[in-house]
Amino acid sequence: MATVEIVDKERKAAGSVELPDAVFGAEVKTHLLQHVVTAQLAARRAGTHDTKTRKDVSGGGKKPFRQKGTGRARMGTSRSPLLRGGGTVFGPHPRGYGLKVNRKEMRAALRSALSARAKENRIVLVDDLSLPSPKTREFLKVASALGLTNALLVVDGSPENLALGVRNLKGFKTLPVTALNVYDVLSYEQLVLTRTALEKISEVLGK
């Protein structure tokens, strides 16, 4: 286990903690990371796209011209896919894009993502991230002291002041530890964990 220092919001030492190798020292499986990230992005797609086939396009009840003698191909409806205003052939229809990822794969991918950040020394452990008021300037003071420029903030519970202080900043995002996921961990350069969040992550993923 690697021992890492925990700091307070002013970057003063507030103790130390051991990072379990089972969670932060695991093998980084890039193929698994790619699979889980692809599944997460696919799950965000609405899949509500739709096109009208010839049976869905309104009109076209009358035969557009007589069967013989025009020198043209026979046509039974003006809503044929061959004509302007007609139906669409092989167009998209509502569907789900979800990919199956079982719990074992998801946890292994999350261990890989956390281990990758640990090996790159991009994890910052903070004793507490609560803010006195829901103000962006309050969070920017903390971010400046901790040297944060592009970070995912993982906390235990739902600290409203922190969430409101961060939401207008493009380079930061806050998540409850229960919503920790591979895509967000890899999307930010730094990973900030509170002491209690780290304990829960170690408890769940260390099994």
Q: Is there a domain that residue 163 lies in?
A: yes
Residue 161 within a domain = yes
Q: First and final CA of the chain: distance in angstroms?
A: 15
Give Cβ neighbours of residue 16 (< 8 Å, ≥ 6 apart). 3, 4, 5, 6
In a domain, 71, yes or no: no
Give the CATH number for residue 177. Answer: 3.40.1370.10
Range of the domain at 198: 2-29+102-205
pLDDT at 59: 87
149 domain residue, yes or no: yes
Determine how many CB atoms are found less than 10 A away from the CB of residue 86.
18
Mean pLDDT per 10-residue interval, the chain, length 207 residues:
85 88 94 96 95 91 91 91 92 94 95 95 93 93 94 90 93 95 97 94 89
Backbone torsion region of residue 69, taken as left when φ is above 0, otherwise alpha when ψ lies between -120 and 50, otherwise beta: left
129 located within any domain? yes
Asked whether residue 168 is assigned to any structural domain, the reply reads yes
**Which tokens go with 15?**
């103790």
Flag whether 75 is in a domain. Answer: no
Q: Are strands 2-7 and 13-19 parallel, antiparallel or unpaired?
A: antiparallel
> Residue 184: CA atoms inside 13 Å, Cβ hemisphere, count?
17
The CB density around residue 41, as the number of other CB atoms within 10 Å, is 12
Q: Residue 43 falls within a domain, yes or no?
A: no
Q: What CA–CA distances, in Å, run from 12 to 15, 155, 169?
A: 9, 19, 25
Confidence (pLDDT) at 95: 94
As for how many domains the chain has, the answer is 1
Largest CA distance in the chain: 94
| DSSP code at position 99 | -
